[in-house]
Amino acid sequence: MALELDKSDQELVIATLENRNSFSALIQKYEAAIRRYVRRLGCVEADDINDVIQEIFIKVYINLNDYDQKLKFSSWLYRIAHNETISFFRKKNLRVNVLNLSDEDIDDFFEQIDDGKDYVKIAYQKDDARITRDLLSSLNPKYKDVLVLRFLEEKSYSEISEILKLPEGTVATLINRGKKELKIGLEAKGIKSI
């Protein structure tokens, strides 16, 4: 297994197609990241998270021949994870729009959002995680999805484009609009910029 973990994702995909036991290496490599992403999207119960993750990896295995080796495997995996999590919420009649973010996530979010790389800058005191969490959850899903991927999962624009199947230009527009919405919301709640 140690040898397999040294392989690239593309090599692991090829190895898995030849021998399904090699799939373990891909699962172990990405389990933590996908678990965190599923939780952030709003999955609260540990059993639910485990069920969703299992379904995600089963779906990945079934569709492994659809993976385009020119793209990052993680982007393709995140796309399946995103779609599976949303359909899990729908199946269970759960609210799709409530993010499950820890205080640490909110701290990370502000560290990333203030990196100066994006057009709209937000630099706020990190003194009210709950308000920010509620505001993020209440954003339009199209903004929320890109903000979570950009500032919590730390994905590049091109990765987000692959995950959400959107043009890169649209991703950039959604990120900036989402940040603007968030900024307006935070200011309306009395959280002032530093």
Partner 1 sequence: MNEELSNKIIERLNKDSILPIPKWRFNILYGFFWLGALMSVIIGSLAFATILFLIIDLRMHGIFEVSHSALEIMLFIPYLWLIVLCIFILIAKISLRHTKRGHQYRLRYIVASSLILSIIFGSFLTLVGVGKLTHDTLNRTSIYNYTTYDAQDAWDQPIVGRIAGVVLSVNNKNNFIIKDFEGALWHIQIATSTYGHVFTPKANSIVRMSGIYDASSSIFIATSIYEWED
What is the contact surface with partner 1 in residues (CB under 8 A)?
Answer: 17, 20-21, 23-24, 27-28, 31-32, 50, 53-54, 57-58, 61-66, 68, 161, 165-170
Residue 193: strand pairing partners: 124
Does residue 81 contact residue 75 with C-beta atoms inside 8 Å?
Answer: no
Among residues 5 and 123, whose Cβ is nearest to partner 1? 5
CA angle 42, 48, 49 (to 5 degrees): 65
Kindly tell me which of 137 and 170 has the beta carbon lying closer to partner 1.
170
Nearer residue to partner 1 within complex by CB, 22 or 132? 22
- Compute the least distance from the CB of residue 138 to partner 1, in Å: 27
Residues 149/112, Cβ–Cβ less than 8 Å: no
Q: How far is the CB of 83 from partner 1 (least distance, A)?
A: 13
**What's the one-letter identity of residue 91?**
K
Pick from 142, 144, 168, 145: nearest CA to 157: 168
Q: What share of the chain is helix, strand, coil (3-state, %, to 5)?
A: 70, 0, 30
CB-wise, 75 or 132, nearer to partner 1?
A: 75
Report in angstroms how near the CB of residue 93 gets to partner 1 at its nearest: 25
Q: Find the shortest distance in angstroms from Cβ 128 to partner 1.
A: 34
